[in-house]
Chains A and B, each alone.
Chain A
Amino acid sequence: KAGVTQTPRYLIKTRGQQVTLSCSPISGHRSVSWYQQTPGQGLQFLFEYFSETQRNKGNFPGRFSGRQFSNSRSEMNVSTLELGDSALYLCASSPGGGTGELFFGEGSRLTVL
């Protein structure tokens, strides 16, 4: 069974630009969550989608948004990039039953210059 796939793995953007990150969950998983990992703030929850609906949202500004498609694939978007948005963005999928057992991808490393 294929794991969680995130694309792109690495990207470099400049301040003010926007970025879209993609996540393909494990087949059959209906929940997709996004986390931001930085040296200073650690791992922080961004949002969770289940069956195309946002089920939970973390404390991030509105520049951070996401969506989920009918095939459970998910995208997150960050607009008007700031230097502080440089981070590893991790996607995780789960069947959606609330077990807390998440399966993580290897992440998309975003560098904002």
Chain B
Amino acid sequence: AQSVTQLDSHVSVSEGTPVLLRCNYSSSYSPSLFWYVQHPNKGLQLLLKYTSAATLVKGINGFEAEFKKSETSFHLTKPSAHMSDAAEYFCVVSDWLSTDKLIFGTGTRLQVFP
């Protein structure tokens, strides 16, 4: 069965410094992986997705993630944090039987200090 593990429940950074949110996945098949973001009292928004076309995936708002099969990782990065990046981030894998059925990680809350 597919699953994802987000290694940090909270990450705090200063504005202008790099962001690293860590995610490991488990899948018997070549996975489809995603990062979604949830701002307070809002729904979820897709940041980026990996579907085997390229290992380095660029998303919205300057975020990117690299798929590393040898490490079973899909970490999310951003070179320079902005105050508006403060939110909850979810690493997600799709079910191998139905790619519209998503399996969410437990989330990482990103705090950005001025």
Contact = CB atoms under 8 A, between A and B. Distances in A.
Interface of A: 4, 31, 33, 35, 42-45, 48, 55-56, 90, 92, 94, 96, 98-107
B102 A104 contact: no
A35 B92 CA distance: 13
Contacts of A106: 41-43
B98 A98 contact: yes
Contacts of B41: 106
A100 B104 contact: no
A33 B44 CA distance: 13
B14 interface: no
Contact of B45 (A43, A94, A104, A107): A104
> What is the interface of chain B mostly: helix, strand, loop, or mixed?
loop
Given A42-B106, A43-B104, A98 B99 contact: yes
Interface string B58-88: 0000000000000000000000000000000
7 contacts: A42-B107, A43-B90, A45-B102, A56-B100, A98-B100, A100-B51, A103-B46
Interface of B: 32, 34, 41-46, 49, 51, 90, 92, 94-95, 97-107
Contacts of A94: 100
Contacts of A35: 102, 104
Contacts of B95: 56
B32 A100 contact: yes
A39 to B, nearest CB: 10
Contacts of A43: 90, 104, 107
Nearest to A32: B100
A59 B100 CA distance: 16
- The 5 lowest CB-CB distance pairs between A and B, nearest first, are A104-B43, A43-B104, A98-B99, A104-B44, A100-B94
Contacts of A99: 49, 51, 99-100
B42 A56 contact: no
Most buried by A among B43, B99, B104: B43
Most buried by A among B32, B34, B92, B102: B102
